[in-house]
Amino acid sequence: MLWYSIKRENWNITIKKEQRYKNTGLIKYWLVKRDSCDNTFKEKLFAKTYTDNANVNEVKIDLQKLINDQIAKEKDSSAEKDLYGQGVYELHFVLVESKKTGVEEKNERILGGEATKTFPYYPQILASLADDLENVLCGCPCSNCDGCVDDKKLLNVTTKVLLYYTLSGEYYQSKFGQALNCISCSLSKEAICILLNEQIRGGSELNKRFLKKILAIFYISFYLMEVGRNCTVEENGKVQDWTTNFHFDKVKRCLEGLGIDLDCIRKHTDNSEARYADFPFYVGRNVQTIDYKYFNDHYSDFEDEEINQIMIYDINHGDGELRYNGTRINNYAIIDFSEIIAGKLTYQANGNGNTEANFKWKVSEGCRDRFNGMSLRG
């Protein structure tokens, strides 16, 4: 069980202590920047910060401000500031018992192990790429008339995309691989076409449609990761998307024109996994509250983001009823995790037997995975 959960909205990171660690220890955090091609990190630039006392149970970190403040100390020219600040950063955080004067950092007592989150920071490049990809993917009046996209421009954008993808390390790899699965058959046909052209004509021309499909998958990968980090969910459940550079509502039609199966991509890039509630509810009890800690203890992902919503399905009510806020739950019920924390998910036994009850569940972590507003919306 991790001692923390982490949430990102745009460049704001919130690190929150889990329930069992509340009012315990200080959150210490610091930022480091990749400083060379051997993946070493330059740690001396950013000071380590502690929360004031053990009663501070979450800390909000403005990464962009942290980066810009440091850049301002080192560079005078505004152009240099913009370029100098771009790179790959690591956010480190750990839970320590206290910060004591005269005690060396290496001797601090650790209550929660150190965690690290790596992320690319190339805002100018990403904004430029979003425009370039939109122009390439939507630059022709029809899906099959590729002649209006200049070969040089197409190759330049492809090179730029590959450069950004490489610079960003592993950040986009998962989404790219998942989305690529949905066009694998189509790419096989394009590959056969290239080979036939080589055999018949003794060489192959630039296959623009093939490149556009690959660029489409890169676009979707960038969009999915960025929209998941750059949105907020309002009280009415509406997702406010701050990733305006991507113009997804427009580009979506161009992707469909290329034959990109967005429904397939949505399914493959949904990080939430089906979980089986492996604890039984016995009819011999009157009312059993489903403890939110069960979900926290049985769920984790590589980003350690906090649970947003739970979807409950394949319900076996047994000799009783699984209820939310006193009302029987039907399959595919979606419940905000805050409501489960408040004790509103219960099992009401009727006492007429010993049949077990159980259910399956899935997790939504953030804006991009909300069950009622998947990120490929529009």
Q: 290-329, pLDDT tens digit by residue? A: 888 778 777 655 455 667 788 888 888 877 888 999 999 8
pTM here?
Answer: 0.67
pLDDT of residue 324: 92
Burial 254-268 (b: 16+ CB within 10 A, else e): bbebbebbbeebbee
Q: Collapsing DSSP states into helix, strand and coil, what is residue 171?
A: coil
Q: How far apart are CA 124 and CA 156, in angstroms?
A: 17
pLDDT of residue 285: 56
Q: Encode pLDDT of 173-205 as tens digits.
A: 888 888 888 888 777 777 777 777 777 766 655
Nearest-10 Cα torsion for 206, 209, 214, 220: 150
Please indicate whether residue 20 or residue 10 has the higher confidence score (pLDDT).
Answer: 20
pLDDT of residue 215: 94
Eight-class DSSP state of 370: -
To which residue do tokens 């009819």 refer? 283
Please indicate whether residue 358 or residue 372 has the higher confidence score (pLDDT).
Answer: 358
Report the interhelical angle of 123-138 vs 151-167 (nearest 10°).
140
Q: Which residue ranges form the domains of the chain, and what is each CATH number?
A: 4-121 (2.60.40.10), 124-268 (no CATH), 275-369 (no CATH)
Beta bridge partners of 3: none
Burial 49-64 (b: 16+ CB within 10 A, else e): ebbeebeebebebebe
Q: Encode pLDDT of 198-246 as tens digits.
A: 777 666 556 788 889 999 999 998 888 876 555 554 444 444 444 557 8
CA 309 to chain centre: 15
Q: What is the pLDDT averaged over residues 247-263?
A: 86
Q: What is the pLDDT averaged over residues 269-295?
A: 62
